[in-house]
Every structure is written in structure tokens, then in C-alpha cells.
């Protein structure tokens, strides 16, 4: 069979990640067009890919054309997911949609309705479902190896610099411009818990707030500076933009962070310094327009009686190294984000390291190799017209997103929200 032909709508980080599958497996996926309003982004992605690759500034121009590919990869900003997802589904394209599906429950429902109406495939970028690590945990839970599951504890330590980059200075800092942080950062954690436990959620409660990244917490020695380049603490503050973005650029090192901060050109020292002078990533982390919470806990009771406690916290050394403990009536699992699964049974109390499948060597190692497995599952589902390969489809995602919206309602209204 010929390779799946796909169009990428949104040429930022995730658009580049999924496009990498076409470079590694050109007999399975070919990118025929890219679209982004920022010319540097779309040119950069097009230049990475085998020609010819058409370039578009607006996805509406793509949608006005007669259908010329099999699938579309939608990796626009969160609040801009719904319109292209619905439009391309209606045109008969299969859709790989970056998480979250959308920023309102009604818009999520619109996407699901469009997918069902057109009878096309949808995968949402809940990468945590796809890794060999997760598949092995799911297998152990479903097999009854640790008995009946009673409780799950799940932690996402975002990382202090990562949180400052994405949720204080960056695209997900402000609810009105994007969405609340539980949806933006942790919807796939809630989805993962739902998937592993294997039961619908009955009720949720939640607590959290914006504790630290506020103007009143700016160090007095900063003298009220609004930008790190002008701050007396630029060389010592742990949240200094010069330390996070500029120092690497001055050494000639292009990082994930300084590429994003300087997305109108190559991350040279000159370009990065200009971006920090004029752009959002150069602002003091205590003097931004951020309003999303920097810590949150979610308590979940599932229909089958399992309880779970999820914690998202900004303030950690580890960057998104999730840690999970699953307690059953015969034993427990301790899981460290895509790296290690430890099984202990009460009968012998011995620690057993459980092996699991890993992604093949190559650039798609993100999220514990799940980036590879997600791209592979979507491409092969389309290639072979096999919907069984889709692990994160429309209905599953709608259900887990509804839990996230309910948890945020519970946090805001200080109440338990019933879902069944």
C-alpha cells in the first residue's frame, strides 16, 4: 500500500514531532502540505521534509481545496482546535488532533459529532496511553496480578523552569487565551488514570490555586523590574529568562526552550536577546499576565469503587517525571514515568522489575517513546483501515475530558461533582 498522505496544520513543536515519523518511515507516512501563520515555522518544517511540500498560511485555504490527502494532523494552539478539526473531518480527512481536544465541553462534542458524522478516524494526542510502559501496566492491572485494584496515587511534577516557560510566560499562562492548567497540562494524566483503572468516573473533587507566580512574591532586590534583561537579579534568579534562554544561545546551543522563545528565526544569541527584550518570554515570572494554578490535586472515585489521587505541582527538580503507585489486594506496582515498573506481591514481598516494550532507536523518544507509538498507531490505522489500532479515540477522549472539566468545576465551586 502507498504511504498515508497527510497535511500538518500548525508547525510548532508537536507538528514537528509527528512529522518526524514521515522522515523515519517514509513508506508509511508522507507530509504533502504544511500550514502555519508564521512563515519561519512553516518554511522550517517544509525544509525538513522530502519535497514537494505545499505551504499555506491559513488552514481555511487548505480546506477550500478539493481533498488531496488522507489525513490531517492538527497541532494548532488549544483554543484553535475545534474549527479545523470539524472542517477537515467533514471533508473526509482522518484526524490526528493534539490534546486537549478543545477548551470547552461543547466544542469537544462538536468534534466528536463531526467525526461520527463523516465516519472518519480520530486519534487525540493522549501520548501517555501509547507507550509500552503503559501497555505493560494495563496488562498487569487487568490480569489481576496484584489482585483487585483499590487505590492509585499519581504525581506529575511539572518542573519549575518548564512551568515558568509554558504556564507563566508562555502559551498556556492565561485561561482566556488558552485554557485552565489542568486541561492544558494534565488532561492526559486524567485520561491515563481512566484508561488504566478501566472504569468510568463516578465523582470528583479538586483543590488548587496560583500560589507563587504573583507580583507580591517578586523579590525586593528585583526593584520592580518587569523584564529579566533589566533586572539586578538576572544572573541569580532561578526563573531568570537570561539563564533559561539566553545563556545557551550565547554558547551556540539551540534548545527546545530558546527555539520557542525565538520562533521568528534561528535561536542565535542576537535573536534570542531581541526576543527577550520584546517578547513574552523575557518578562519577569512574577510580573506576567498569568492566572492559571501552579498546583492542583484531583480526587477521583470510579464506578468500580477504585479511588485515585492525582497531584500536579509546578515546583520540582524533575521535569514531568511522573510517579505512580497502584495498590491492589495482593500487591502493588510502583511506576516511574516510562522508565521502571516495580512489582511487589504480598506473598513474598520481593521487588520484581518488570520489562516492557520500548520505542526503537531514533528521534521519537519523547514521553517515554510514546510519541513514536502514537504516530505509528494512527498512521497504521489509516494505512490498513484498522480502527482497532486507535487507542485514544473520539468517545474515550470525550469521556476523560468531561472528567477534567468536572474537576475544574469542583475546584472553582468547592464541591464534589457527580458524573454518573
Q: Is the peptide bond before 100 cis (omega within 30 degrees of 0)?
A: yes
Would you mind telling me the total number of residues written for the chain in this entry? 420
Rounded Cα gap, residues 116 and 173, in angstroms: 33
CB atoms within 10 A of CB 344: 15
pLDDT tens-digit series, residues 65-79: 999 999 999 999 999
Rounded Cα gap, residues 210 and 225, in angstroms: 21
The DSSP secondary-structure symbol of 122 reads E
**Burial group, residue 41, by CB count within 10 angstroms (0-12, 13-18, 19+):** buried
- Which set of grid coordinates corresponds to residue 357? 516494550
Which has the closest alpha carbon to 263: 25, 36, 61, 104? 36
Which has the closest alpha carbon to 256: 372, 157, 161, 369? 161
8 A C-beta contact, residue 292 and residue 210: yes
8 A C-beta contact, residue 130 and residue 379: no
Query: What average pLDDT does the chain have?
Result: 96
Which has the closest alpha carbon to 193: 73, 308, 77, 340? 308
pTM comes to: 0.95
pLDDT tens for each residue of the chain, 420 residues long = 699 999 999 999 999 999 999 999 999 999 999 999 999 999 999 999 999 999 999 999 999 999 999 999 999 999 999 999 999 999 999 999 999 999 999 999 999 999 999 999 999 999 999 999 999 999 999 999 999 999 999 999 999 999 999 999 999 999 999 999 999 999 999 999 999 999 999 999 999 999 999 999 999 999 999 999 999 999 999 999 999 999 999 999 999 899 999 887 899 999 999 999 999 999 999 999 999 999 999 999 999 999 999 999 999 998 999 999 999 999 999 999 778 999 999 999 899 999 999 999 999 998 888 999 999 999 999 999 999 999 999 999 999 999 999 999 999 999 999 999
Rounded Cα gap, residues 21 and 8, in angstroms: 12
- Which set of grid coordinates corresponds to residue 211? 500560589
Domains and CATH numbers, the chain: 4-120 (3.40.50.720), 129-213+291-359+393-418 (3.30.360.10), 216-282 (no CATH)
- Residue 367's pLDDT is 87
What H or E segment, with its residue span, contains residue 353?
Answer: strand 351-353
Q: How distant is the alpha carbon of residue 63 from its chain centre?
A: 26
pLDDT tens-digit series, residues 306-326: 999 999 999 999 899 999 999
**Burial group, residue 355, by CB count within 10 angstroms (0-12, 13-18, 19+):** exposed
Rounded Cα gap, residues 420 and 407, in angstroms: 14
CA-based end-to-end distance of the chain? 44
Amino acid at each position: 500500500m502507498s504511504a498515508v498522505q497527510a497535511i500538518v496544520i500548525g508547525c510548532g513543536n508537536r507538528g514537528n514531532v509527528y512529522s518526524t515519523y514521515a522522515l523515519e518511515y517514509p513508506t508509511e507516512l508522507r507530509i504533502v502540505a504544511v500550514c502555519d501563520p508564521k512563515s519561519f515555522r512553516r518554511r522550517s518544517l517544509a525544509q525538513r521534509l522530502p519535497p514537494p511540500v505545499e505551504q499555506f498560511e491559513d488552514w481555511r485555504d487548505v480546506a477550500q481545496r478539493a481533498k488531496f490527502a488522507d489525513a490531517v494532523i492538527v497541532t494548532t494552539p488549544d483554543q484553535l482546535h475545534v474549527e479545523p478539526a470539524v472542517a477537515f473531518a467533514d471533508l473526509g480527512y482522518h484526524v490526528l488532533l493534539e490534546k486537549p481536544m478543545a477548551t470547552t465541553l461543547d466544542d469537544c462534542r462538536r468534534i466528536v459529532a463531526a467525526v461520527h458524522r463523516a465516519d472518519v478516524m480520530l486519534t487525540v494526542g493522549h501520548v501517555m496511553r501509547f507507550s509500552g510502559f503503559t501497555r505493560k501496566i494495563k496488562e498487569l492491572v487487568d490480569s489481576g496480578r496484584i489482585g483487585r485494584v483499590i487505590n492509585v496515587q499519581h504525581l506529575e511534577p511539572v518542573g519549575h523552569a518548564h512551568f515558568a516557560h509554558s504556564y507563566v510566560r508562555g502559551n498556556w499562562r492565561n485561561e482566556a487565551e488558552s485554557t485552565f492548567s489542568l486541561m492544558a497540562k494534565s488532561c492526559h494524566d486524567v485520561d491515563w488514570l481512566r484508561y488504566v483503572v478501566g472504569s468510568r468516573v463516578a465523582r470528583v473533587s479538586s483543590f488548587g490555586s496560583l500560589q507563587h507566580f504573583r507580583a507580591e512574591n517578586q523579590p525586593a532586590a528585583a526593584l520592580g523590574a518587569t523584564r529579566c534583561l533589566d533586572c539586578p537579579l538576572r544572573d541569580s534568579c532561578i526563573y531568570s529568562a537570561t539563564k533559561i534562554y539566553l545563556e545557551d544561545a550565547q554558547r551556540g546551543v539551540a534548545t527546545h526552550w530558546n527555539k520557542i522563545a525565538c520562533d521568528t528565526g534561528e535561536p542565535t544569541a542576537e535573536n534570542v536577546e531581541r526576543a527577550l527584550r520584546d517578547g513574552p518570554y523575557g518578562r519577569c515570572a512574577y510580573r506576567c499576565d498569568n492566572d492559571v494554578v501552579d498546583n492542583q490535586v484531583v480526587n477521583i472515585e470510579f464506578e468500580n469503587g477504585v479511588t485515585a489521587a492525582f497531584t500536579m505541582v509546578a515546583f520540582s527538580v524533575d521535569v514531568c517525571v511522573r510517579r505512580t503507585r497502584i495498590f491492589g489486594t495482593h500487591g502493588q506496582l510502583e511506576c516511574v514515568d516510562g522508565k521502571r515498573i516495580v512489582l511487589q506481591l504480598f506473598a513474598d514481598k520481593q521487588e520484581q522489575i518488570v520489562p516492557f516494550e520500548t520505542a526503537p532507536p531514533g528521534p521519537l523518544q519523547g514521553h517515554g517513546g510514546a510519541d513514536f507509538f502514537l504516530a505509528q498507531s494512527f498512521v497504521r490505522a489509516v494505512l490498513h483501515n484498522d480502527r482497532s489500532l486507535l487507542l485514544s479515540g473520539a468517545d474515550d477522549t470525550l469521556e476523560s475530558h468531561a472528567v477534567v472539566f468536572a474537576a475544574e468545576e469542583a475546584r472553582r465551586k468547592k464541591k464534589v461533582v457527580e458524573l454518573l
